Amino acid sequence: MNLMTSEAALRLNQAANPAEATVDVLFFAIADTILGKVLLARSAKGVCAIVLGDDAAELEADLAIRFPEATLVANEVMVHDDLAKVARYAEKPSEGLDLTFDMRGTPLQRRIWEQIRAIPLGKTMSCMHLARLINSVYPWVAARVVANACAANPIALAVPCHRVIRTDGELAGYRWGSERKRDLIEKEAQA
């Protein structure tokens, strides 16, 4: 993991406009929320990761695996406002989650994630229904692609993959745990 101090990272990009930085620097911090621990990371362009879990070291390791070329900088100041919005959203989903994103994925993954973001609060959609929206000709193939895009989603809550369920109405898997998925769906249904 390429972890450096905040001061070193800031010196590294000091002369450059952050949006034009040649080094991919991701600032991150971890907070305790009602969902457990939440790691939020952002680049100069926006939030690129919201990761849920129970162990801070595991969250940091996940971030390093997802962004192996990035320089990771633990810096609560740089992500404070974004992290506070995520914590508020966890408490009260009806207030929405207004963040700027740096969605990193393939064009198809980003297209699927945008479709998932369109699922209204308090609603769910089957993987097959979502697949038909993506590819009405071969939905059974697209359903696997949708499931893979959900598994690759680095931005929990903002790309609400927890709202994607099986065709039979069962919850199916969730990268951050089935219990957490159930809790999110129930909380959003009450919002």
Residue owning tokens 């969605």:
103
User: What average pLDDT does this structure show over 75-87?
Assistant: 97
Between 148 and 137, where is the model more confident? 148
Residue 91 sits in the same domain as residue 18: yes
pLDDT confidence of 2, banded at 50, 70, 90? low
Domain membership of residue 145 (yes or no) is yes
Domain membership of residue 101 (yes or no) is no
Tell me the per-residue pLDDT of 158-170, one tens digit each, with 9 for 90 and over. 999 999 999 888 9
Q: Under the phi-then-psi rule, with left for phi > 0, alpha for psi from -120 to 50, and beta for the rest, what region is 170?
A: beta
Tell me the per-residue pLDDT of 13-58, one tens digit each, with 9 for 90 and over. 444 555 555 689 999 999 999 999 999 999 999 999 999 999 999 9
Residue 120 sits in the same domain as residue 82: no
Domain membership of residue 100 (yes or no) is no
For residue 52, what are its two tokens?
């849920």
- Whether pLDDT at 179 is above 80: yes
Residue 22: its H or E element: none
Which range of residues forms the domain containing residue 57? 3-95
| Catalytic residue from among 48, 127, 150, 161 | 161
Cross-strand partners of 72: 3, 26
pLDDT confidence of 142, banded at 50, 70, 90? confident
Residue 116 sits in the same domain as residue 89: no
The CATH code of the domain that includes 29 is 3.30.160.70
Contact 73, 9 (CB under 8 A): yes
Rounded CA separation 50/42 (Å): 9
Active site residue 150: no
Domain membership of residue 102 (yes or no) is no
Q: pTM, whole model, 2 decimals?
A: 0.85
Rounded CA separation 180/54 (Å): 11
| pLDDT for the residue numbered 58 | 97
* Domain stops at, among 74, 95, 116: 95
For residue 156, what are its two tokens?
């929990």
Domain membership of residue 72 (yes or no) is yes
Contact 101, 113 (CB under 8 A): no
| pLDDT for the residue numbered 5 | 47
| pLDDT for the residue numbered 18 | 53
Residue 73 sits in the same domain as residue 119: no
Number of domains the chain is built from: 2
